[in-house]
Amino acid sequence: MSKTIKKIAVLTSGGDSPGMNAAIRSVVRTCAYHQIECVGIYRGYQGMIEGDFIPMGPRTVHNIINKGGTILKSARSKEFMTSEGRKKAYDQLQKAGVEGFVVIGGDGSFTGAEIFNKEFQFPVMGIPGTIDNDIFGTSHTLGYDTALNTVIDCIDKIRDTASSHNRLFFVEVMGRDAGHIALNAGIGGGAEEILIPEEELGLERLLESLKKSKASGKSSSIVVIAEGDKIGKNVFELKDYVEANLPEYEIRVSVLGHMQRGGAPSCYDRVLASRLGVKAVECLLEGKSNFMVGMLNDKVTITPLLQAIKGESEIDRELLRVAEIMSV
Ligand code: ATP
């Protein structure tokens, strides 16, 4: 492995997700393994602009593999979206002797890295970190598996009370533009219906389906709704609409919200983070740059950042059919 790069920085940017700490740990330890220096950048690109750096070694990342959130903090930086801001960031990296960086974040963070790479020919790599799983070039983003498990845990608990009171529950989960969480947690949690941004279910079909389920002898049901479902009504408006049309139902709404972003990462996310961190650093050491590392068919892969940003991460349509069959 050629070792032209002597110092790599790591930062977390955009929304946090479980597994980011495990990825930081992996980047830091892979640097140590290859005997190159590593610095952490606090608060994403804003910290880069301000030179908010900290030297990191294998012992500075002990006891974090199991922690949610990010020890480096995350931020959104408007200043980095300007060429003046990025020049300041470049100057800070130069001053600190940093020769490449690994950014853990979503497509916005990758866009920033891609532009930065073009402007300064600066080596960059991306690790996908977002619970929404909405990034092209990887079957799983960091935090997605943990978020699914969190949602399933909540749905199981809601089911206990739903069945005790013969109630219908609308459970809203995260996913403004992507229905991965709703679809998979919906199937895993045994939901009656699943509403996602990618698919127009329609209000009439929802009513029909709920009527059918009542007629088939179900006394309680759970409907999982992604934040950005296609019907366009928020979950409370949807409740009012269904109650007005199906008065036999007593509906409760549960919005899971930010709890889906927290918690200890699942084993899957920890292993994923460890594998992706190794690959990101080793790519930089091999002279590769401007790629996102990801996981496809359980193999670590690399995808050009631009493709990862522009590509669509589509839902698996077979899951829609499975969901329909399961709610018979
Ligand atoms: P999430 O999935 O949580 O939204 P994200 O990485 O997509 O994560 P963003 O807020 O979109 O989150 O982007 C994070 C940061 O990346 C921004 O605050 C900004 O600093 C930088 N960034 C985003 N888009 C651009 C851009 N077009 N040019 C330069 N920098 C950008």
pLDDT of residue 37: 98
Distance 261 CA to ligand 1 centre (A): 17
pLDDT of residue 3: 54
**Active-site option among 132, 134, 145, 269:** 132
Mutate to test the pocket of ligand 1, among 11, 12, 13 (most ligand atoms within 8 A of CB): 13
Q: Whole-model pTM?
A: 0.95
The residue ranges of every structural domain in the chain are 7-143+265-310, 145-261
Distance 78 CA to ligand 1 centre (A): 9
Decide if 7-143+265-310 and 145-261 have a common fold.
yes
105 lines ligand 1 (CB under 6 A): yes
DSSP assignments along 2-40, one per residue = -----EEEEEE-SS--TTHHHHHHHHHHHHHHTT-EEEE
132 among known catalytic residues = yes
Rounded-to-10 torsion of CA 263, 188, 226, 314: 100
pLDDT of residue 100: 98
Residues annotated within a binding site for Mg(2+): 107
80 lines ligand 1 (CB under 6 A): yes
Distance 160 CA to ligand 1 centre (A): 40
Measured distance between the N- and C-terminal CA atoms of the chain, rounded to whole angstroms: 56
pLDDT of residue 68: 96
pLDDT of residue 7: 98
pLDDT of residue 84: 98
76 lines ligand 1 (CB under 6 A): yes
109 lines ligand 1 (CB under 6 A): yes
Residues in the chain: 328
* CATH number for the domain formed by residue range(s) 7-143+265-310: 3.40.50.450
71 CB neighbour count, 10 Å cutoff: 17
DSSP assignments along 126-139, one per residue = EEEB-TT---TT-S
pLDDT of residue 212: 85
Reduced DSSP (H G I as helix, E B as strand, rest coil) percent helix, strand, coil of the chain, to 5: 45, 20, 35
145-261 has CATH 3.40.50.700 classification: no
107 lines ligand 1 (CB under 6 A): yes
Beta carbons within 8 Å of 56's beta carbon, 6+ residues apart: 10, 24, 28, 38, 39, 40
Q: What are the average pLDDT values for consecutive 10-residue runs of the chain, which has 328 residues? A: 83 96 98 98 98 97 97 96 98 98 97 98 98 96 98 95 85 92 96 89 84 79 87 85 88 94 97 98 98 97 97 91 90
DSSP assignments along 157-170, one per residue = HHHHHHHHHT-EEE
